[in-house]
Amino acid sequence: MSLPILVAVPADVRAFENYRWHATPDTYLKALTRVAGAIPVIVPALADEFDVAALLSRVDGLMMTGSASNVHPDRYGVEPSTAHEPFDPARDRLTEALIHGAIEIDLPLLCICRGHQELNVALGGTLATEIQDSEGRMDHRAIKHEEQRERFAVRHPVSVAAGGALAAIVGDDEIRVNSLHRQAIDRLAPGLAVEATAEDGTIEAVSVEGAKGFALGVQWHPEYWAESDAASAAIFHAFAAACRAYASARADAPRG
């Protein structure tokens, strides 16, 4: 019987009850356990305290989550403003190291929402903030509602790039997604390919060019409906398959 796959998940830093917490929303963790069949490993945002490369050598995949915080604009050469807030610099330091480390060893990589933006910044791209205020742009922000199911409801279509990495998972047809964001990719990073766009031109999915395995970023939230939405489930199943293949190849590799 094969061992379950381990997937690293970066933590956000939060202040609560006089403590500094390193935490991750359970919707991401449940998507990994229930749909991908993986064991999540929450990684504290303490990148200066441990060897990130050593951690990545012990897991079978890396999933970058969404968050209420944004990548600090200093990391992509833009003057910070209140429109860019809130920030989580400890997470920024961790996720940049995780992304570069994962790409270097071809570790399966799934980047969601903030993670999608982190991937673009880590590879040299930039972000635009408050995109709903730009001419011709849709309002991609979550609606105000007490029920999470309503906030995360599938609301708009994206066009999937024919023949791309995402199309191989969900097909070339248009799919409907649940994007909840006010920031988006501005300048696409070198080494990323566009996999899906919204009707207003917003880049909704990317892949790492030349990656030997799974390396995908999506601006929407497949984790929320991974148990019921076909496209969301397909993304997690494909990620899980890539993680299992990675684990199997590593187990079969000769030991020096």
> pLDDT by residue (tens digit) across 162-192?
999 999 999 998 999 988 877 899 999 999 9
pLDDT, average across residues 32-42: 97
Please tell me the predicted confidence (pLDDT) of residue 143: 62
Q: Does residue 140 have a pLDDT over 90?
A: no
Q: Which of 113, 116, 181, 195 is catalytic?
A: 113
Say if CB 194 and CB 205 are below 8 A apart: yes
Active site residue 221: yes
pTM of the model: 0.93
Task: Count structural domains, the chain.
Answer: 1
> Across the chain, what does the average pLDDT equal?
92
pLDDT digits (tens, 9 = 90+) for 205-250: 999 999 999 999 999 999 999 999 999 999 999 999 999 999 999 8
Please tell me the predicted confidence (pLDDT) of residue 142: 62
pLDDT, average across residues 9-29: 96
Range scoring the smallest mean pLDDT among 2-6, 12-16, 117-121: 2-6
Q: Which of 118, 195, 204, 223 is catalytic?
A: 223
Output Rg (C-alpha) for the chain, integer angstroms.
Answer: 17
Q: Which of 195, 53, 179, 194 is nearest to 112 (CA)?
A: 179
Range scoring the smallest mean pLDDT among 25-34, 37-46, 145-154, 219-228: 145-154
Please tell me the predicted confidence (pLDDT) of residue 45: 97
Active site residue 156: no
Please tell me the predicted confidence (pLDDT) of residue 173: 87
Q: Which of 116, 140, 181, 221 is catalytic?
A: 221
Say if CB 149 and CB 221 are below 8 A apart: no
Name the residue range of residue 137's domain. Answer: 5-252
Provide, rounded to the nearest whole percent, the portion of the chain with pLDDT above 90: 76
Active site residue 243: no
Q: For residue 207, what is the domain's CATH number?
A: 3.40.50.880
Handedness of CA 210, 214, 215, 218 (dihedral sign): positive
Question: In angstroms, rounded to a whole number, what is the distance separating the alpha carbons of residues 115 and 99?
Answer: 9
pLDDT digits (tens, 9 = 90+) for 67-102: 988 999 999 999 999 888 899 999 999 999 999 999
For 68, counting Cβ atoms within 10 Å of its Cβ (0-12 exposed, 13-18 middle, 19+ buried), the class is exposed
Please tell me the predicted confidence (pLDDT) of residue 180: 81
